[in-house]
Structure 1
């Protein structure tokens, strides 16, 4: 029956369900790749905060928002899973790189990095919130 429907779809000029499925999956892969690259670029700009112009920072924040990418700078609740602790000792954390989450899917695009530091209050040495 499914074979008959595919044959009818091909003869009518409509794309087959398999072709549509492949196109949708390819688009998700393309979006994921692009979102990953954009997150990497934003992370580099975030690390250079202060030396990068405000226009570039604002433009990047606008692009992230338009694409449904959330920059996470304060690990709270379930957001702590989006970070990797890279080094250090202590109870508090210093943000080395923000995490990026796809708001459409809830999936992590780029893991953030935290460094353990002495003290009880989390610290942020650079960057701004998107």
Structure 2
């Protein structure tokens, strides 16, 4: 039932992370449009990007290694493990909940979501690179 090859799991992960990253970054960019933009907000966005980018890069390496260890095919949702799904649910739920409650001002949403979204998208690019270089991964 809906089993895919290991390589396809990398493609699915890449698409999911790219979509998530784009949507989060989009919210950050939209917030920049309703605030008075200051130069230091862009620096803060870069700091957030670097911090989360390193974390997501390590995570993408871990998930790629796990996926490469699978047998030939797996259910399509196995691009994540249970822990990753739980973390994703908490992050999404927290982000949506905090924004809906108005806990964080637009100035925070602007730099934080821009940096976070770009870091998420970079993880998607990493998975897509691993999808493209699949044959080389098999040799490692």
Is the TM value for this pair above 0.5? Answer: no
Name whichever structure is richer in strand by fraction: 1
Name whichever structure is richer in helix by fraction: 2
When normalised by structure 2's length, the TM-score is 0.32
When normalised by structure 1's length, the TM-score is 0.34
**CA radius of gyration, larger in:** 1
Q: Which has the higher contact order (CA 8 A, sep 6+)?
A: 2
